[in-house]
Structure 1
Amino acid sequence: MEDNIFQLQYALDTFYFLICGALVMWMAAGFAMLEAGLVRSKNTTEILLKNVALYAVACTMYMICGYMIMYGGDMFLSTITGDGVAGAEEAATYAPSADFFFQVVFVATAMSIVSGAVAERMKLWAFLAFAVVMTGFIYPMEGSWTWGGNAVFGMYTLSDLGFSDFAGSGIVHMAGAAAALAGVLLLGARKGKYGPNGQINAIPGSNLPLATLGTFILWMGWFGFNGGSVLATASVESANSVAIVFMNTNAAAAGGLIVALIVARTLFGKADLTMALNGALAGLVAITAEPSTPTALQATLFGGVGGALVVFSIIALDKMKIDDPVGAISVHGVVGLLGLLLVPVTNDASSFSGQIIGAATIFAWVFVCSLIVWGALKAVMGIRVSQEEEYEGVDVAECGMEAYPEFVGAKGSGI
């Protein structure tokens, strides 16, 4: 009887884990749609190609070496079955291969954050070369110090210092933003974004319906992102925890959107759709570090703080001439840090000092390593397209095709 109960629990937990992983994989579509909507039409094909290609690169590199670095599990040379050894210690009640699948879609999420920040002026192959290193080494190393439970360079474990990150506000989102920031600093701003006298010129996206669709897809996928991090659902305790995480994830997104919309209306005198969309995403990032312990009202307030912060962060980065076409550094980096700092408010097992040390460790590792890799790529192959290619659009220069040829006039189309 006990064996039958265990088998049923194993099957349910594995199925739940796989479904949540599929939801997180669907977030790749959300990033693709959001970024495609927020760039100009002449750069749409390339941003879509980046998103689908980085997902494939992340899956392959994490299989080859990333999973082994992060958890010690070898998915490259062996087929892991239910009787095998999983990388994560928590994998005792679900299939170890499900653990790999769930982890690999998180890696792709971290890399997706980079693609929007460097949009419209980065070389495609330089970006993909960076994706190889980011998903195969940089992310797995910092993941091994956090979720993997290893000591940082053999010195200390972050969990022993009071660091906690339930689903990855820092481990995934802030890490992706740190890599993006390093690339943006070396890449420079888009031509025409900043004037000689300090003026900031708006460069509107080409398809706001697509950006809105992307936000809704991300909102939906986030239930798998946070909910799957409970790691089980086949018991009363875990089922209740999953329900709380879903409730709080949704509440934080709603709070973030509402507050961002109000703040934008106060500052600009108009209802800014892009700020509202980023507000929802900011709320989701803010709650990701700890969605299981707040009340629904607290989650809404945490999301609201993230929504307000993201508006001011986007404005501040623009004043600093850090050109981020989709606001990824603000949403995932600045608000990711906020999410980590909010954890001790409701989780007594964490501490503010532990959260700060953990955040500093993750940011320093990812930013410095990324800066080195971006710098090497810049010296060897260059990371930015030419001024003429940027003016013409990277769709033609990098991909040889345009997403909307009937509107912009593709070469040879006769238009």
Structure 2
Amino acid sequence: MSELDVTWVLVAGVLVMFMQAGFACLEIGFSRGKNAGTVVAKVLINFATVSLAWWLAGFALAFGGDGWFAGDSGFFLSIGHVLAPGSPIPGPLDGAGSAFAFFQLVFCAVSLAIVWGTTLERVRFIAYPIYGTVFAVLIYPLVAHWIFGGGLLHDIGMGMQDFAGSTVVHLTGATGGLAALLLLGPRRGKYAPDGTPRAIPGHSMPVFGLGVLILWLGWFGFNGGSALGTDGNRFAEVIFVTNLAAAAGVLGAAATVSWRVGRLDIGMVGNGAVAGLVAVTAPSGFVEFWAAPIIGLVAGVLVVVSVLAIDRVLDDPVGALSAHGIAGIWGTLSCGLFASPRLIEDAGLPGQAGLVYNGSLEQLGVQAAGVAIAFTVVFVLSYLTFGVIKATVGLRVTPDEERDGLDLVEHGMYGYPEQFIASGDVD
């Protein structure tokens, strides 16, 4: 990698790291005021946990070699450490390798952040570092290796296409969230005695909106940085494709929610942007400009329909299962429809062009099989991990603690003190 390439990868990595602020704002906005502060502590603890776990073993298992199952070198990364020949950065680790390792670290951190959207307002804080360690050391690295690192689903296997992680990052995070949610159960009062879902509004749509815009910005680093350099200025095309899909996602969600519920729901519109971004993450390096709005528009429609359907049976406060899971599946499958021969063949990328170009369902089948394998493995490992947490230290707070709010119960302080403490008590 040239110095310019390294600079771009690092800048992109910083943009992706800033997405943690976007997730924080999005989740704070969708939480009630009594649970707003705990999100800040969660984001900091999770990013710190991933940073150390990735250095310890996550990077090595994901990118330290080209074995079909996992990497085998790069544990406790240090300058001069020699990585396996099959690594994306073979030979001694240097500055370029450090840039790549950091860029992949922040991907892992984004995937972990997605997990917790389903668990807002009732999960015990101790679950974060425990699951986060297992996730960053084992669960995420396995999927990353199989698709990004030359493993089971990439060069050695089927030639699955996932340019920046609709499956690796987003479906993996959503699947972990599904496993947690099934063991955790809904928030108190979410469902009426007859099973009808009740709305539990978040306390700040402006904060939520800020989160969406931060994520939108960070995604330019997420997808554009996955070009891993500036050669041929491909990263600029990827960024433009990304923006087109996000914009179409907003409009698709806005039209669908207006039709389904008769009003322009702010949360749905924001999730339309996220869904469009998630969906285009896999094909962003494989599709021409014309395909991006189609991918984003479909994602915007799907996220609304999915949120409304899932809400009947599962309490997912931020819509993570829909915006990251369903949209992630659609985005991964869309490679099998729209992948361009120009971008696949000229770059020597895995797999083949999509259905609209060659009339073949082969790549679509490869994408579907990859989704199924990744989902199954992540779900089983996550469910086992959360099951152990539930059986030992506990996964959910007590009903009284949930009623009082996690800010006070877990941290002994309020995110918004003036909201809960009379002014005379602090004069």
Same-fold call, TM > 0.5? Answer: yes
Match of 1:165 in 2: 162
Please give the TM-score of this superposition, normalised by the length of structure 2.
0.89
The Cα of 1:84 is off from its aligned counterpart by 5.5
- Does the CA contact (< 8 Å) of 2:74 and 2:83 recur in 1? no
Shift of 1:157: 5.2
Among candidates 213, 221, 224, match of residue 221 of structure 2: 224
Which has the higher relative contact order, 1 or 2, with Cα contacts under 8 A spaced 6 or more apart?
1
Q: How many residue pairs get matched?
A: 397
1:197-208 equivalences under 5 Å are 197-208=194-205
Counterpart in 2 of 1:303?
296
Instruction: Please report how far the alpha carbon of residue 94 of structure 1 lies from its aligned counterpart in structure 2 after TM superposition.
Output: 7.1
Give the 3 Å change call, closer, same or farther, for CA 75–210 of structure 1 in structure 2: farther
Counterpart of 1:4 in structure 2 is none
1:130-183: per-residue Cα shift (whole Å, max 9, x none)?
Answer: 1111111111112111111123xxxx7576323110000001100000000000
Work out whether 1:210 is the aligned partner of 2:207: yes
Q: Which residue of 2 aligns with 1:191?
A: 188
CA drift of 1:91 comes to: 3.8
Distance 2:161 2:380 in 1: 23
- TM-score if structure 1 supplies the norm length? 0.91
2 CA distance for matches of 1:295 and 1:269? Answer: 34
> RMSD between aligned alpha carbons?
2.1
Question: 2:79 is matched with which residue?
Answer: 80
The question of whether the paired residues in 2 share the 8 Å contact of 1:86 and 1:97 is answered with: no
Which one-letter code corresponds to 1:259 in the other structure?
Answer: G
Q: 1:175 aligns with which of 166, 172, 176?
A: 172
Contact 2:5–2:229 (CA<8 Å) still a contact in 1? yes
State yes or no: 1:44 paired with 2:56.
Answer: no
Equivalent residue number for residue 358 of structure 2 = none
- The aligned residue for residue 55 of structure 1 is 47
Residue 30 of structure 1 pairs with residue 12 of structure 2: no
- The answer as to 2:398 corresponding to 1:386 is yes
Q: Look up the SS of the partner of 1:306 in the other structure.
A: helix
CA distance in 2, matches of 1:253, 1:87: 38
> Any conservation in 2 of the 1:13–1:94 contact (CA below 8 Å)?
no
The secondary structure found in structure 1 opposite 2:290 is helix
1:90 deviates by: 3.9
1:334 aligns with 2:326: yes
Q: 1:296 to 1:304 in 2, by over 3 A?
A: same
How far 1:198 sits from its partner (Å)? 2.1
- Distance of 1:133 and 1:311 partners within structure 2: 32
**Aligned residue for 1:127?**
128
Residue from 307, 313, 321 that aligns with 1:314: 307
Q: Distance in 1 between matches of 2:149 and 2:223?
A: 18
Which amino acid is the alignment partner of residue 179 of structure 1? G
Contact 2:64 2:87 in 1 (8 A): no
- The answer as to 2:114 corresponding to 1:113 is yes
Take 1:412 and 1:114, find their aligned partners in 2: how far apart are those partners?
40
- 1:147 corresponds to which letter in structure 2? F
Rate the CA distance shift 1:386–1:111 in 2: closer, same or farther, 3 A: same
Distance (Å, rounded) in 1 between the aligned partners of 2:328 and 2:208: 21
- 1:10 equivalent to 2:5? Answer no
1:45-98 deviation per Cα after TM superposition (whole angstroms, max 9, x unaligned) = 1112111110110111010011111111755545225x9648874447971010
For residues 219-255 of structure 1, the C-alpha deviation after alignment (integer angstroms, 9 at most, x for no partner) is 000000000101110x3x2x1x111101010010000
Equivalent residues of 1:212, 1:277 under 8 A apart: yes
